[in-house]
Amino acid sequence: MSGLSGLRAVVTGGASGIGLATARKLAGRGASVAVLDLDPSGVPRPLLALEADVSDDPSVRAAVDEAAERLGGLDILVNNAGIGAQGTVEDNPDEQWHRVLDVNVLGMVRTTRAALPYLRRSSHAAVVNTCSIAATAGLPQRALYSASKGAVLSLTLAMAADHVREGVRVNCVNPGTADTPWVARLLDAANDPEAERAALNARQPMGRLVSAAEVAAAIVYLASPAAASVTGTALAVDGGMQGLRLRPAAHS
């Protein structure tokens, strides 16, 4: 994979999990990286830590402008901040629907809107959205979360079409269940965390969770000049969960 020296990147939700792994990898390849997060206090150097709430437009605009000013422009935007929700279509109150769609979908709209004037000036402009297996497979107890990620998938394609002639590529990654602090919180809250982890492992044909570093590697590829001809794609990093249909192990 080509180096990223000279490129300037913003990663939302970059203080934890997939976002932090991505920010570290981008910096490791030579990019200058700003992390936008609700709580960026633990973000390690040399990452530039900026506090921002993707559900608040003035906060996003101020942080993106500051990132562009301090990094000297922007080439890469990773729209990764997101929150979860559990339940069927009967379970979540309207306020929660508005909140999750506000963060997971409009959060990407706000950050991209603020970043586009800078991205248009780059000769290696790329946006990568963190989508999910939930956009392409029906998962139980994830009605609201899945609706938000389905919207992210469609938004990715529409943005790719709108900005291709401006030289801005737009792609997304679709992780399967990834071993991040988010999933650790879900496991901690389960009645039987070990059984829950075993069930999540078993749902993926590889028999294990995806790592944050594996998702980050896919994001960094899509963000890099190595992917110069790639736009409007969804790259699954899901241990085979979307594409494979295995027979039970005993019958294979």
Nearer to ligand NAD, 4 or 50 (CB): 50
* Residue among 75 and 179 whose Cβ is closer to ligand NAD: 179
Residues known to be catalytic: 145
Residues 111-140 as x/- pattern, contact with ligand NAD by CB under 6 A: -------------------x-x--------
Our finding on whether 64 is near ligand NAD (CB under 6 A) is no
87-116 positions binding ligand NAD, by CB under 6 A = 103
Site string for ligand NAD, 160-179 (x = CB under 6 A): ---------------x-xx-
Q: Is 129 exposed, middle or buried (0-12, 13-18, 19+ CB in 10 A)?
A: buried
Please report, as residue ranges, which positions from 200 to 239 form the binding site for ligand NAD (by CB under 6 A). none
Interacting span for ligand NAD (CB under 6 A) from 26-34, 52-60, 135-143, 190-198: 52-60
Tokens standing for residue 222: 């899509």
DSSP string, the chain: ----TT-EEEEETTTSHHHHHHHHHHHHTT-EEEEEES--TTPPTTSEEEE--TT-HHHHHHHHHHHHHHHTS-SEEEE-------B-TTTS-HHHHHHHHIIIIIHHHHHHHHHHHHHTT-SSEEEEEE--GGGTS--TTBHHHHHHHHHHHHHHHHHHHHHGGGTEEEEEEEE-SEESHHHHHHHHHSSSHHHHHHHHHHHSTTSSPEEHHHHHHHHHHHHSGGGTT--S-EEEESTTTTT--PPPGGG-
Binders of ligand NAD among residues 23 to 42 (CB under 6 A) are: 37-39
Report if residue 180 touches ligand NAD, rule: CB under 6 A: yes
Number of Cβ atoms within 10 Å of the Cβ of 175: 27
Applying CB under 6 A, which of residues 65, 66, 83, 196 lies at the interface with ligand NAD? Answer: 83
CB of 98 to ligand NAD, least distance (A): 13
Total residues at interface with ligand NAD (CB under 6 A): 28
Is position 183 an interface residue for ligand NAD (rule: CB under 6 A)?
A: yes
Which residue lies nearer to ligand NAD by CB, 164 or 184? 184
The distance of Cα 24 from the centroid of its chain, to the nearest Å, equals 14
* 80 is a site residue for ligand NAD (CB under 6 A): yes
Q: Which residues bind ligand NAD (CB under 6 A)?
A: 12-13, 15-19, 37-39, 52-55, 80-83, 103, 130, 132, 175, 177-178, 180-183
